Amino acid sequence: MLNRGLAYRCYCTAEELEEERRRAAREHRPPRYSGRCRELSADDVRRFEREGRRPAIRFRVPDRDVTIVDALRGEIRFRAIDQDDFIIRRSDETVSFLLAGALDDADMRVTHVLRGDDHLPNTPRQAMLLQALDRGLPAFAHLGLVLDADHRPLSKRDGAATLADLRDAAYLPDAVRAALAHLGWSPPRDTGGDVAALAFRFRLEAVSGSSCVWDAARLEHENARALRALTADALAALCRDRGWIPPALEEPWRRALAAVQPELKFLAEIPHLVAPLLPGDVNVENEAREHLSGADVATALRVFAEEMENGRGFSDAVKIVKTKSGLTGRRLFQTAARRADRPDERDRDGRIGENFGAAGDGAARRARINAFPARTSIR
């Protein structure tokens, strides 16, 4: 490029360039390289070399406007006057991003360059380089940047700045993919969280050119959906990978997972949800205690115990308690569950753990709910 006059050596030091920029700012001019090394005399060069300066190499920007085509925005025109001669090789002889990136893409036969629109100003420069080197241009598409709720660039604080953050938070990969697909684009019809369907419907040209706001609620929705879509084996495998399932409790765990799966939102909440369904002691949590305070509860508990002793089924006993105590809804069931804590007072519907019914028909779920409504306190 030097031989062909496409580029030239620049002997300016970092300090000199910095000073140039400062002066420009003071005089309210745009900070541009002046081009002072464009036409150095042989004497100048000798002098600089004698001073021990190592030259950088700058691209001699042609004096004509550049029009690039962006797949999302159409033609964008950049004025020649706004472009200064940029460095393509540093004084330590390493090649700059602008040249290396453009050339590497060309060598790799990259057809589409998709990047954040913070790269838009680089595009005319890379286009000029490629044209000067008689290389073809790839298609460019510059996507809007993703912002947080305050319209600031996404940061660590948002907990979603990187894929690693999302993985650490145990979001399912498909949920992340689905949520990402909804940035700057949305499917013509809801795909039910099916990532393959999203991919099938996706069109680059349909992506919005504006920046968009990261929506954690969307991710949670997709995650809950993906969790529900998991097969029993897949769900169990995830739990096993996390070391949650003791070998001895494999079967109870699987039944409990089946009961709990329809309401899952996060992987991490599984141990919490499943615990009451496994054999062992049941603790009534704080919120449950609140619901259990008061005189009518005492009555209810007594009535419930009596009915159970008389051989009533759980459901029948609950109905009678309801009539006699006036309790309804949550308080009624908290009360019933209180008694159901006692293994000897559980009946077919109310029993906990290894005995409750098969999943899928709602029986297991109902059994769990009847047995442990206190889980309403978890959320």
Contact range with RNA by CB under 7 A, out of 28-36, 130-138, 249-257, 293-301: 28-36
| HSE-up of residue 265 (Cα within 13 Å, Cβ side) | 9
Nearer to RNA, 179 or 245 (CB): 179
Counting contacts by CB under 7 A, is residue 209 touching RNA?
A: yes
Report helix angle 363-371 to 250-260, nearest 10: 90
The smaller minimum CB distance to RNA, of residues 4 and 151, is found at 151
Smaller CB distance to RNA: residue 117 or 253? 117
Smallest distance, Å, CB 181 to RNA? 8
Q: Which is nearer to RNA, 65 or 250 (CB)?
A: 65
Number of H helices, E strands in the chain: 16, 9
Interface pick for RNA out of 1, 6, 110, 211 (rule CB under 7 A)? 211
C-beta of residue 98 within 8 angstroms of C-beta of residue 122: yes
CA atoms within 13 A on the CB side of 56: 17
**In the bound complex, what is the minimum distance in angstroms from residue 354's beta carbon to RNA?**
20
Spatial separation of the C-alpha atoms in residues 369 and 363, rounded to whole Å: 10
Which range in 54-62, 165-173, 232-240, 293-301 contacts RNA by CB under 7 A?
Answer: 54-62
Pick from 38, 47, 52: nearest CA to 8: 38
Of 281, 262, 148, nearest in space to 212 by CA: 148
Site string for RNA, 56-95 (x = CB under 7 A): x---------------xx--xxxx--x----x--xxx-x-
How far apart are alpha carbons 116 and 211 in whole angstroms? 9
Residues contacting residue 59 through CB under 8 Å, at least 6 positions apart: 1, 6, 7, 85, 86, 87, 88, 99, 125, 128, 129, 132
**Footprint (CB under 7 A) of RNA, residues 128-167:** 142, 144-145, 147, 151-153
CA-CA distance, 352 to 282, in Å (whole number)? 9
Residues 180 to 199 in contact with RNA, rule: CB under 7 A: 182-186, 188-190
Shortest Cβ distance from residue 125 to RNA (Å)?
8
| Under rule CB under 7 A, residue 49 binds RNA | no
Which stretch of DSSP H or E encloses residue 291? Answer: helix 286-292
Q: For tokens 């000067």, what's the residue? A: 132
Give the nearer residue to RNA in terms of CB position, either 210 or 293. Answer: 210
How far apart CA 92 and CA 190 sit, in angstroms, is 54
Q: Work out whether 37 is an interface residue with RNA (CB under 7 A).
A: no
Q: Which of residues 277-306 bind RNA (CB under 7 A)?
A: none
Is residue 313 near RNA by the rule CB under 7 A? no
Nearer to RNA (CB atom), residue 75 or residue 248: 75
Number of residues near RNA (by CB under 7 A): 85
Nearer to RNA, 46 or 240 (CB): 46
Compute the distance between CA of residue 143 and CA of residue 123 in angstroms, rounded to an integer: 13
Under the binding rule (CB under 7 A), the answer on residue 206 touching RNA is yes
Select from 162, 208, 283, 310 the one that contacts RNA (CB under 7 A). Answer: 208
Token reading at 252: 């109870």
- State how far the alpha carbon of 118 is from the alpha carbons of 130, 146, 210, in Å: 20, 11, 12
Considering the rule CB under 7 A, would residue 217 count as an interface residue with RNA? yes
Specify the stretch interacting with RNA by CB under 7 A; choose among 41-49, 130-138, 204-212, 301-309. 204-212
CB contact set of 48 (below 8 Å; sequence gap of 6+): 11, 40, 55
Residue 177 within binding range of RNA, rule CB under 7 A: no
Report angle CA 194, 200, 201 to the nearest 5 degrees: 95
Q: Considering the complex, state which of residue 30 and residue 279 has its C-beta at the smaller distance from RNA.
A: 30
Out of 45, 106, 120, 197, name the contact with RNA by CB under 7 A.
Answer: 120
Task: Please give the residues from 317 up to 356 whose contact with RNA meets the rule CB under 7 A.
Answer: 318-319, 322, 328-330, 332-333
